Amino acid sequence: MAAFFGDNQFKFGLFGINCAGGMTPSRAPERWRADWDEMVAVAKLVDDAGVEFMLPIAKWHGLGGEADMWGRSFETFTQAGALGALTKRTGLFVTAHVSLITAAFAAKAIATVDHATHGRAGLNIVCGWNPDEFSPHGITLDGGNRYERGLEWFEIYDKLLEGGPKFDWKGRFYDLQGLVTDPLPVQRPRPPVMSAAQSGDGQAFAARAADILFTSLQSLDVARDTVTRFKALAATHGRKPDVYVETQFVCKPTCKEALEYAHYYAVEMADPDALAYFARQKARTMSISTKTGDTAADRQLADTLSGARKQPYPGMFAGMYPVIGSPDDVVEELKKISAIGVAGSTLVFLNYLRELPYFIQEVFPRMERAGLRMKVAA
């Protein structure tokens, strides 16, 4: 299974509109507030522009600080059902936390979204990183075995979607009886599965379970290494997943304006308390491969969490690659990112509704001329 979402050389996934703050830990007053009507307006914009999919974040706890980023968030399965009814072609991912959502629930819910959208659903499986998100549910997150548990969860989910007769499951983490689901999703053998991870352990999980690995992009060299390693690992399981990376855009008519705006919201207005909390919580559940520095990505992540690696723009997350400049500059950078072998990246802005129209108007036609995207059919 490869090359989801059509033939564009470089695909986009709109990321994080269901949460206040989106993906930007900034105190800037014009930051994203996750107002429902604004969210719908953005969903329609990207749908018309041919953006391949939308990816929400499953969140149960804010980051604190002045802005309390993610303190307000819409639930992702129900949001996808609603946005699916208001859009025509964009893919709609939902995000399931393995320890909060049962495989049987996920199978039924994804089938619901897939039928409602005539085959546009996708599932992002996340194994969790912030213990504070699990305590409201009475669950303790175990960082050490989260991916083993995730793999067993995926195997149950996958078997359910095969659509065979009722079965029981007895494994290391789950002891379940009478598993069966009807209806099956429209997409066969199943809607695309995404796994978002940076660590070597997370990549190993994705190589077994995912059709798409979504990973961070701190530097082009490390990302190139990740793509090569990951694709080779997946091939040993007979699989050919796509790789996507995280990018955040600041695009203005001139490079000077873009740099000034990025400096304003992601340096001057960065939310230090939220960022400190984020790093603290991530460190609490660090993957084993990150502790032992297995891959270049693990070593980079460990350096970021320990503070040894400094961010030029602290008000953008460490794994979020800043693409800053004029429309021409942005396309030049996207060509370099595409050349490392990724299928696409995230569309992230401080304020999606203010910044996307200019981006779509100026960057998309340039990408078409550069062969990265094709014109959208009317």
Ligand X SMILES: Cc1cc2nc3c(=O)[nH]c(=O)nc-3n(C[C@H](O)[C@H](O)[C@H](O)COP(=O)(O)O)c2cc1C
Residue 5 burial (CB count, 10 A) = 22
Q: Which of 20, 49, 51, 126 binds ligand X (CB under 6 A)?
A: 126
| Torsion over CA: 310, 251, 323, 284 (sign) | positive
Q: Residues binding ligand X: what is the number (CB under 6 A)?
A: 18
Which position among 26, 99, 187, 199 is part of the footprint of ligand X (CB under 6 A)?
A: 199
Binding residue for ligand X, selected from 196, 227, 250, 274, defined by CB under 6 A: 196
Kindly state whether residue 216 participates in binding ligand X, applying the rule CB under 6 A: yes
Give the residue nearest to ligand X (CB): 196
Q: Where does this chain touch ligand X (CB under 6 A) — which range of 41-49, 199-207, 348-356, 365-373? A: 199-207
Cβ of 350: how many Cβ atoms within 10 Å?
Answer: 26
The identity of residue 78, as a single letter, is: T
Residue 341 near residue 224 (C-beta atoms within 8 A): yes
Q: Which of 110, 115, 113, 120 is nearest to 89 (CA)?
A: 120
136: number of Cβ within 10 Å = 10
* Shortest distance (Å) from residue 18 CB to ligand X: 9
The piece of 67-75, 176-184, 196-204, 264-272 that touches ligand X (CB under 6 A) is 196-204
Of 73-112, which residues contact ligand X (CB under 6 A)? 95
Please state the closest distance from residue 79 (CB atom) to ligand X, in A: 12
Measuring CA to CA, which residue among 143, 154, 120, 164 is closest to residue 286? 143
Nearer to ligand X, 73 or 181 (CB): 73
Q: Does 242 bind ligand X (CB under 6 A)?
A: no
x/- binding map, residues 251-290, to ligand X, per CB under 6 A? ------------------------------------x--x
**52 binds ligand X per the rule CB under 6 A:** no
DSSP string, 148-181: HHHHHHHHHHHHHHHT-S-EEEE-SS-EEEEE--
> In the numeric block, which tokens belong to residue 217?
């992009």
Number of Cα atoms under 13 Å in the Cβ half of residue 270:
18
Tokens representing residue 42 in the block: 């953005």
- 134 interacts with ligand X by CB under 6 A: no
Which CB, 52 or 169, lies closer to ligand X?
52
Q: Footprint of ligand X on this chain (CB under 6 A)?
A: 57-58, 95, 126-129, 196-199, 201-202, 214, 216, 246, 287, 290
